[in-house]
Chain A
């Protein structure tokens, strides 16, 4: 079992729709969680951190479910520019490393 698992997609979603995807992690001691966004042939960029109480940044909402060991990302009113691969990242405690999911590809269609 991979340490961080994501549905690779692609998710094909019409513009304006709401889309959500999850990411599961295997290490119950993980402490920090992030969503990164990666455009085609570009480097990953931090989208948002995921806090225990859940957090929102504009149209994006991130949730953490420790009991079931997953995090989620919800995008409301999706835009064409949201098309990208979304990478789930987990950081174990007292460790410099990040554990990366393989990414979920999202395609927003007009």
Chain B
């Protein structure tokens, strides 16, 4: 089974802090994604990466950055946390083997509260 591990299930930070969310996958997947999920809005893509050191902006990248120094690890950084970044953050990975239509496998999520 694919295992995607997020570093924290729950996190509380203060406005203005720099916040790091870590994600590791063990299936040698090429693609990794960071989403946030808010009630009534569904999953919104923040950033994704299709290879080491490669990154692409998703739909809502403002206020976030990412880092992918190793294939198995994809980090999301909130440069200066704000209260509107309180949300559930989900990391996912997928393979591009056997064509380009592979489902995404998710971590347990990090529920982040910014006070």
A interface residues with partner B (beta carbon < 8 Å) = 4, 8, 31-32, 34, 42-46, 49, 87, 91, 94, 96-98, 100-103
Contact = CB atoms under 8 A, between A and B. Distances in A.
B112 to A, nearest CB: 14
Interface string B87-106: 00010000000001101111
30 contacts: A4-B42, A8-B40, A32-B101, A42-B108, A42-B109, A43-B90, A43-B106, A43-B107, A43-B108, A43-B109, A44-B43, A44-B90, A45-B106, A46-B103, A49-B103, A87-B42, A87-B43, A91-B101, A96-B48, A96-B56, A96-B100, A97-B58, A98-B45, A100-B35, A100-B42, A100-B43, A100-B44, A102-B40, A102-B41, A102-B42
Interface in B12-32: 31
B109 A96 contact: no
Contacts of A103: 42
B50 interface: yes
Interface residues of B, number: 22
Given A91-B101, A100-B43, 20 more contacts: A31-B101, A42-B108, A42-B109, A43-B90, A43-B106, A43-B108, A44-B43, A44-B90, A45-B106, A46-B105, A87-B42, A87-B43, A96-B48, A96-B50, A97-B48, A98-B104, A100-B42, A100-B44, A102-B41, A103-B42
